[in-house]
Structure 1
Amino acid sequence: MAISDLKLPAGVTAHTFNTPAVLAEALAKTVAGQLNDAITAQGVATLVVSGGRSPVAFFQRLIEQPVDWSKVVVSLADERWVPVEHADSNAGLLKQHLLKGPAAKARFVGLYNVAPTLDAAAEQADRQLAELPPIDVLILGMGDDGHTASLFPASPNLKQALDLDNPRRCWPMLAPTVPHQRLSMSRHLLSTAKHTVLSVQGQAKLNTLTDALAGDDVAALPIRAFLQPTLEIYWCP
């Protein structure tokens, strides 16, 4: 099966690439163009990315593109509740692979906070995100279980975090894998992005997308909440 075999909702487009490297290069060029368009139109551009190892090649290609990073704000769709120095920190990953060289001039708005509890950290992150400019470009990933950002199936706060009418920006979430404690942007905030890309690799992710398109229970497969018009899917085997 290829992604071209899927019956996608109206307005959702899919792009297939032969290798992860080719996907990363194409995505970097597209995103750079969108950031530059936003800078031209409004003087600033906001990029929200996902963590994990899959986006590293994209980050490395993106910082090679001609972008005025001093006019870019970067944030994370989700974060592990660990210090930046921790090996599992998404912020640490960005500092290592994206926010360096010319991109070190970008302003970073993180989600991690030192707080007595995960709930308190999420409340503080919610207040910080109030200062985030409108999101121009959002890059999402997806797990084999259908989660995106840290919107995991069966997480205690999932229903509220997926509620489009709930204006809260950040929620405490629990993942089934270590580290369990996560911070995630809400569907309400993520859905405001002007451009949204879902970047996935491999047959397992394609199978998950197939399942997501076959039903409408958003809580079972949270990625369903983002299979909306204007979404672009970038996939490679």
Structure 2
Amino acid sequence: MAISDLALPAGVRTHELGNAEQLAERLALDVAQALRDAIAERGTATLVVSGGRSPIAFFEYLSGLDLPWSQVVVSLADERWVPVNHATSNEGLVRRHLLRGPAAEARFVSLYQVANSLEQAAELADQALAKLPPIDVLVLGMGDDGHTASLFPGSPNLVQALQPDGTRRCLPMHAPSEPRQRLTLTLPVLASARLPLLAIQGQAKLATLNEALGLDDVTRMPVRAFVNAPLAIYWCP
């Protein structure tokens, strides 16, 4: 199966690359150009990215590109509720691999908050996100279960997080894998991005996306809520 075989909604664009390195490079170049365009038009640009292992090469390539980084705001689509110095922290990952060299001049809006409970941390993150400018570029990934950000099938707050007219920016989530306690941006915030991008690799992920496309109930595979125009999908075998 190739990405061109998917029955995608009208207006969803696709980019098929030869391997993971080519995907990371093409994604970084396209993101950088979109950020430059936003800065030229509005004076600043906001980039929201996802964590995990897959984006590392993309982060490192993007960090080396010529951008007016002091005019860029960076944040996360989701976070593990662990301290920034924890090995699984998405913020720690972004700081190590993206916000380095000239890119360290970017302003980072953190989701992680010190609190007595995950619910309180989500409320504090929700308040912090009030200062996040409109999202110019959003880079999402996807898990084998069809989750994206930390919108996991079966999580107690999933229905609320996927409400198109919801008022919360951030909600607590529980993942099926450790660390289970997560924070995620909600559908209204993520869907507001001017340029949403989805990066996936391998036949298994393509099969997952194909399965999601056949569902009407987005809570079963939440990535389905985002596969609409103007999404662009980047894929390599």
TM-score range, shorter chain: over 0.9
Whether the 8 Å contact between 1:49 and 1:76 is mirrored in structure 2 is: yes
Alignment-derived partner of residue 165 in structure 2: 165
The separation in 2 between residues aligned to 1:216 and 1:208, in whole angstroms, is 15
Whole-angstrom distance in 2 between the partners of 1:210 and 1:49: 23
CA contact (8 A) 1:167 1:189 kept: no
C-alpha offsets along residues 188-235 of structure 1, whole Å, 9 cap, x if unaligned? Answer: 100100000000001110010110111211000000100111100000
Q: Which amino acid aligns with 1:153?
A: P
1:65-102 CA-partner distances (Å, limit 9, x unpaired): 11100000000000000000000000000111001100
Alignment-derived partner of residue 20 in structure 1 = 20
TM-score (norm: length of structure 1): 0.99
* 1:4-153 equivalence runs, <5 A: 4-153=4-153
SS at match of 2:230: coil
What letter corresponds to residue 10 of structure 1 in structure 2? Answer: A
Corresponding residue pairs, total: 237
Pair 1:232-2:232 in alignment: yes
Q: Distance in 1 between matches of 2:211 and 2:185?
A: 24
CA distance in 2, matches of 1:215, 1:92: 35
Match of residue 191 from structure 1: 191
Q: 1:208-227, aligned counterparts within 5 Å?
A: 208-227=208-227
Which secondary structure does the structure 2 equivalent of 1:85 belong to?
A: coil
One-letter amino acid of the counterpart of residue 147, structure 1? H
Please give the root-mean-square deviation of Cα atoms over the aligned residues, in Å.
0.5
Residues 145 and 153 of structure 1 are in contact (CA less than 8 Å); yes or no, is this contact kept in structure 2? yes
1:2 aligns to 2:2 (yes or no): yes
Query: How far did 1:49 drift?
Result: 0.1
C-alpha separation between the residues in 2 aligned to 1:235 and 1:50?
A: 16
Secondary structure, aligned partner of 1:130? helix
The CA distance in 1 between the partners of 2:74 and 2:13, in whole Å, is 25
Provide the TM-score with structure 2 as the length reference. Answer: 0.99
Whole-angstrom distance in 2 between the partners of 1:179 and 1:203: 27
| Per-residue deviation, 1:167 | 1.6
CA deviation vs aligned residue, 1:87-130 (integer Å, no higher than 9, x gap): 00000001110011000000000100000000000000000000
Cα distance in 1 for residues equivalent to 2:174 and 2:204: 23
Deviations 1:42-67 (A, max 9, x none): 11000000000100000011012111
Is the Cα contact below 8 Å between 1:123 and 1:170 reproduced in 2? yes
Please, which runs of 5 or more residues in structure 1 have no aligned partner? none
Partner Cα separation in structure 2 for residue 151 and residue 175 of structure 1: 8
Runs of 4+ in structure 1 off by over 6 angstroms are none
Distance in 2 separating the partners of 1:167 and 1:66: 36
Q: Secondary structure at the match of 1:219?
A: coil
